[in-house]
């Protein structure tokens, strides 16, 4: 993992146009354009360590995924939301499990977060396993909470609490 830079524009576009969108938010534009990449890279390079922790996932010098924890606002400012995506060719290698653990440690330390949450489509068993491996606990089920491609899905809400020394 490494921080994003403005020079990552072309690889970011390739990633976002190639990633499996089955369980991703529609917030990710499709197709993903130069303007989209410029907006994202400007945002994350300026707000790194303030509003979130944003990392490119790199294998053999190629960006193959993205992972971030974005700080929430107002009274939720010590809570962050985890999001990630990985090219299908790199699934089932343990890459995302490792990245989730690392980015959570970074976000808790650098952002001072007390809690990190993740929202997962109910059928997305791989993401559920990744979160459980990293100490997340399922808090609730949000029934019919989202619509994707004309289908309603339940969303599972997971959280990880900061370990407070005793």
d(CA 76, CA 64): 31
Over residues 61-76, the pLDDT tens digits come to: 999 999 999 999 999 9
Over residues 3-54, the pLDDT tens digits come to: 999 999 999 999 999 999 999 999 999 999 999 999 999 999 998 878 999 9
Query: Which pLDDT value is given to residue 50?
Result: 86
Over residues 94-139, the pLDDT tens digits come to: 999 999 999 999 999 999 999 999 999 999 999 999 999 999 999 9
Residue showing tokens 């974005």: 70
- 165 pLDDT band, cuts 50/70/90, is low
Over residues 142-151, the pLDDT tens digits come to: 999 999 999 9
Do 36 and 16 meet the contact criterion of CB atoms below 8 Å apart?
Answer: yes
**Mean pLDDT, residues 57-61 taken together:** 97
Q: Hey, how many other C-beta atoms are within 10 angstroms of the C-beta on 92?
A: 8
Query: Which pLDDT value is given to residue 23?
Result: 96
- CA nearest neighbour of 128 among 100, 158, 83: 158
d(CA 4, CA 26): 22
> What are the structural domains of the chain?
2-118 (3.40.630.30)
Overall residue count recorded for the chain in this entry: 166
Query: Which pLDDT value is given to residue 99?
Result: 98
Do 91 and 126 meet the contact criterion of CB atoms below 8 Å apart?
Answer: yes
pTM for the model stands at 0.93
């Amino acid at each position: 993992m490494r921080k994003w830079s403005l020079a990552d524009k072309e690889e970011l576009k390739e990633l976002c146009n190639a990633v499996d969108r089955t369980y991703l938010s529609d917030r990710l534009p499709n197709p993903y354009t130069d303007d989209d990449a410029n907006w994202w890279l400007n945002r994350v390079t300026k707000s790194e360590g303030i509003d979130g922790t944003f990392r490119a996932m790199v294998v053999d010098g190629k960006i193959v995924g993205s992972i971030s924890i974005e700080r929430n606002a107002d009274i939720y400012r010590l809570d962050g939301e985890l999001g990630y995506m990985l090219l299908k060719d790199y699934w089932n290698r343990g890459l995302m499990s490792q990245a989730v653990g690392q980015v959570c440690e970074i976000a808790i330390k650098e952002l001072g977060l007390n809690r990190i949450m993740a929202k997962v489509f109910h059928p997305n068993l791989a993401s559920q396993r990744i979160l459980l491996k990293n100490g997340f606990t399922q808090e609730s089920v949000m029934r019919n909470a989202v619509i994707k491609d004309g289908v309603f899905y339940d969303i599972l809400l997971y959280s990880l609490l900061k370990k407070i020394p005793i």
